[in-house]
């Protein structure tokens, strides 16, 4: 699980410019290929060998200062709650505005590490204007220019030093699958968890993590044995009204990163919406297993809406990663709640599956020989050998004479074949082509 860095600040100070500089470019390329609009406000970054997640909290709130003052206050509260480190961006051109002062006041009350990034310091003669920001009372300030990247290295040096130690799992615990239940507010997450574990102390053991970290609840009943991640956080009704997409996404990040399989709960009466898609994508991006539960199925008029129709719609929304189990549940009638858990266990096993190199070649080589990658510029591309990599999540490499000419449609073709032959339901997989 990686640590979480949140970027806060009022609109137009340059948060998204800075965020885009931090996250890996790769994302943008992947997304342009799949043609799907993705959440642009969450990404992975790495500095001095330390990986962390970055959230641009401002990306969810666009607009002028006055309209959104209340929202920014909430944004800051939640960032403080969910992130390990906060970067507070201010604008040297504007100086300290009343809203900056308000954000600073909220941040001063907390013990989380906060770094003040004074942005738009494009030239040396702007340095003098940065000193004013010491008045925010948040300690050292870091002059940066998000646009050119100047000063960001010094800032990141300090940010990664402030991140908590990487968590080391205890060996025994490590073997237990970790599931989380995520979804938009009111989808039925707490009802689901309560239906499973209730308040029965006999089956519930709380293993307290560090103060703000995810809390695991071990579930051992009906032949299951796994940890439910962050159930306390999900049960806890937030003090802020969670009407914005930002909140459910932000609440999900830590739980998702901490899990092996994410149980994404969707409200059948609302359908699969943007927020659901963003949470799904968080799981996919983190290479976690996914099970989709369409909950409140008891409320749906079965004449007008069939499971098949519902499934098709969801698969359209989650394309191209559509090989995901979908289970129709009701926490009220208790319909398929155990089926949901069984499916999560299955996805967990699929994600751990390892295929021997000889068997894999036996299965795949006839396919790539029969349908090779299309020739380019009169050059024939030949795949000679393939294998699964010894990685935590399924990754496959295909060795070819001219791997650089193999395009995405062929990669998708290979992935489809692979999914036809093996059970990777609910599991994101990676395929690489390399020079032999
Ligand atoms: P956000 O609303 O806080 O996410 O701000 P944006 O990243 O959208 O930036 C707001 C404006 O500030 C845009 O016009 C950016 O081009 C500009 N900007 C961002 N970083 C810098 C910088 O380092 N120097 C200057 N001069 N302008 C910047
Ligand atoms: P959460 O915010 O995702 O934890 O959602 P809750 O578990 O608090 O549920 C929100 C509301 O939906 C509550 O009023 C529940 O009683 C109701 N609810 C949850 N699951 C179901 C279900 O399967 N069927 C019906 N009819 N209502 C449900």
- pLDDT tens digits along 108-139: 988 889 999 999 999 988 988 999 999 999 99
283 in a domain, yes or no? yes
Parent domain of 208:
178-352
User: What pLDDT does 247 receive?
Assistant: 67
Are 15 and 143 part of one and the same domain? yes
Each residue of 426-436: pLDDT tens digit? 999 999 999 97
Each residue of 29-61: pLDDT tens digit? 444 444 444 556 788 899 999 989 998 887 555
More confident residue, 133 or 219: 133
User: What pLDDT does 261 receive?
Assistant: 97
Nearest-atom index, ligand 1, CA of 146: 23
CB 104 within 8 A of CB 8: no
CB 159 within 8 A of CB 6: no
171 in a domain, yes or no? no
Nearest-atom index, ligand 1, CA of 59: 4
Residue 233 has pLDDT above 70, yes or no: no
User: What pLDDT does 145 receive?
Assistant: 96
Distance 231 CA to ligand 2 centre (A): 15
Alpha carbon 363 to its chain's center: 33
Measured in degrees and rounded to the nearest 5, phi and psi for residue 342 equal -55, -40
In this prediction, residue 218 has a pLDDT band, given cuts at 50, 70 and 90, of: confident
Distance 325 CA to ligand 2 centre (A): 21
Residue 206 has pLDDT above 50, yes or no: no
Ligand closest to CA 334: 2
Average pLDDT, the chain: 85
Return all residues near 100 (Cβ < 8 A) that are at least 6 apart.
Answer: 9, 10, 90, 136
Which residue, judged by its Cα, is nearest atom 25 of ligand 1? 120
Residue 4 burial (CB count, 10 A)? 22
Are 238 and 265 part of one and the same domain? yes
What's the rounded mean pLDDT across residues 145-149?
Answer: 93
Q: Which of 335, 352, 369 is the last residue of a domain?
A: 352
User: What pLDDT does 202 receive?
Assistant: 33
Residue 425 has pLDDT above 80, yes or no: yes
Closest-CA residue to 228 (of 176, 298, 159, 187) = 176
Residue 74 has pLDDT above 80, yes or no: no
What's the rounded mean pLDDT across residues 359-365?
Answer: 96
User: What pLDDT does 404 receive?
Assistant: 92
170 in a domain, yes or no? no
Which residue, judged by its Cα, is nearest atom 27 of ligand 2? 296
Q: Which of the listed residues 184, 187, 188, 255 should we mutate to test ligand 2's pocket, taking the one with most ligand atoms within 8 A of CB?
A: 188
Q: Which of 162, 195, 224 is the last residue of a domain?
A: 162
Q: Tell whether omega for the bond before 107 is within 30 degrees of 0, i.e. cis.
A: no
Residue 295, annotated as binding a ligand: yes
Are 347 and 362 part of one and the same domain? no
Are 273 and 335 part of one and the same domain? yes
Are 185 and 148 part of one and the same domain? no
Residue 302 has pLDDT above 50, yes or no: yes
Each residue of 2-13: pLDDT tens digit? 789 999 998 889
Are 8 and 153 part of one and the same domain? yes
Are 39 and 188 part of one and the same domain? no
User: What pLDDT does 141 receive?
Assistant: 95
Residue 232, annotated as binding a ligand: yes
User: Exposure of 255 by Cβ count < 10 A (0-12 exposed, 13-18 middle, 19+ buried)?
Assistant: buried
The Cα 364–Cα 362 span in angstroms is 6
What's the rounded mean pLDDT across residues 359-377?
Answer: 94
Residue 89 has pLDDT above 60, yes or no: yes
In this prediction, residue 205 has a pLDDT band, given cuts at 50, 70 and 90, of: very low
Which range, of 143-147, 277-281, 295-299, 349-353, averages the lowest pLDDT?
A: 277-281
More confident residue, 23 or 381: 381
Q: Are strands 289-295 and 326-328 parallel, antiparallel or unpaired?
A: parallel
More confident residue, 204 or 144: 144
User: What pLDDT does 32 receive?
Assistant: 46
172 in a domain, yes or no? no
Are 184 and 225 part of one and the same domain? yes
More confident residue, 30 or 262: 262
Closest-CA residue to 42 (of 315, 233, 275, 294) = 275
User: Exposure of 30 by Cβ count < 10 A (0-12 exposed, 13-18 middle, 19+ buried)?
Assistant: middle
Are 298 and 343 part of one and the same domain? yes
Distance 183 CA to ligand 2 centre (A): 12
Protein residues with CB under 6 Å of any ligand 1 atom: 9, 11-17, 58, 119-120, 122, 145-147
ipTM of the complex: 0.81
User: What pLDDT does 92 receive?
Assistant: 97
Are 146 and 35 part of one and the same domain? yes
Q: Which of 334, 352, 370 is the last residue of a domain?
A: 352
173 in a domain, yes or no? no
Which range, of 16-30, 143-157, 360-374, averages the lowest pLDDT?
A: 16-30
Tally of structural domains, the chain: 3
Which residue, judged by its Cα, is nearest atom 2 of ligand 1? 12
User: What pLDDT does 231 receive?
Assistant: 64
Residue 207 has pLDDT above 50, yes or no: no
| CATH number of the domain within which 323 lies | 3.40.50.300
More confident residue, 21 or 170: 21
SS3 of 73, please? helix
Q: Which percentage of the chain shows pLDDT scores above 90? A: 58
Residue 58, annotated as binding a ligand: yes
CB 38 within 8 A of CB 32: no
Are 236 and 122 part of one and the same domain? no
Ligand closest to CA 62: 1
| CATH number of the domain within which 423 lies | 3.30.300.20
Instruction: For the full predicted model, state whether its pTM sits above 0.80.
Output: no
351: left (phi over 0), alpha (psi -120 to 50) or beta: alpha
Distance 177 CA to ligand 1 centre (A): 43
Residue 324 has pLDDT above 70, yes or no: yes
User: What pLDDT does 60 receive?
Assistant: 58
Residue 141 burial (CB count, 10 A)? 21
Are 158 and 184 part of one and the same domain? no
In this prediction, residue 239 has a pLDDT band, given cuts at 50, 70 and 90, of: very low
């Amino acid at each position: 699980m990686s640590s979480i860095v949140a970027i806060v600040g009022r609109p137009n100070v340059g948060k998204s410019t800075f965020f885009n500089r931090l996250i890996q470019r790769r994302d943008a390329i992947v997304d342009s290929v799949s043609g799907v609009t993705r959440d642009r406000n969450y990404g992975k970054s790495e500095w001095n060998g330390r990986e962390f997640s970055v959230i641009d909290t401002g990306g969810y709130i666009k607009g002028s200062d006055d309209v959104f003052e209340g929202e920014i206050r909430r944004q800051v509260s939640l960032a403080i709650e969910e992130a390990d480190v906060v970067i507070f961006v201010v604008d040297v051109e504007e100086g300290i505005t009343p809203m900056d002062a308000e954000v600073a006041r909220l941040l001063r009350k907390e013990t989380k590490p906060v770094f003040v990034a004074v942005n738009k310091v494009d030239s040396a003669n702007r340095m003098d204007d940065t000193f004013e920001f010491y008045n925010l009372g948040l300690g050292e300030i870091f002059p940066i220019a998000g646009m050119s990247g100047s000063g960001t290295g010094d800032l990141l040096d300090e940010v990664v030093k402030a991140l908590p130690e990487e968590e080391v799992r205890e060996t025994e615990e490590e073997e237990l699958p970790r599931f989380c239940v995520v979804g938009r507010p009111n989808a039925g997450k707490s009802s689901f968890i309560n239906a499973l574990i209730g308040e029965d102390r006999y089956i519930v053991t709380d293993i307290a993590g560090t103060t703000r970290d995810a809390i695991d609840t071990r579930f051992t009943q009906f032949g299951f044995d796994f940890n439910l991640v962050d159930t306390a956080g999900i049960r806890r009704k937030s003090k802020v009204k969670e009407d914005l997409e930002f909140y459910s996404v932000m609440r999900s990040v830590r739980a998702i990163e901490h899990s092996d399989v994410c149980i994404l709960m969707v409200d059948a009466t609302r359908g699969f919406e943007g927020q659901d898609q963003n949470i799904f994508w968080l799981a996919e991006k983190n290479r976690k297993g996914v099970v989709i539960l369409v909950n409140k199925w008891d409320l749906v008029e079965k004449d007008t809406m069939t499971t098949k129709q519902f499934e098709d719609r969801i698969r359209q929304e989650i394309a191209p990663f559509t090989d995901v189990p979908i289970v129709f549940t009701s926490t009220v009638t208790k319909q398929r709640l155990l089926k949901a858990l069984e499916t999560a266990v299955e996805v967990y096993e699929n994600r751990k599956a390892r295929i021997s190199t000889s068997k894999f070649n036996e299965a795949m080589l006839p396919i790539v020989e029969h349908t090779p990658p299309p020739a380019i510029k009169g050059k024939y591309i030949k795949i000679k050998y393939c294998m699964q990599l010894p990685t935590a999540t399924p990754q496959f490499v295909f060795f070819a004479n001219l791997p650089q000419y193999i395009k995405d449609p062929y990669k998708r073709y290979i992935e489809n074949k692979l999914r036809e032959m093996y059970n990777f339901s609910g599991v994101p997989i990676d395929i690489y082509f390399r020079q032999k």
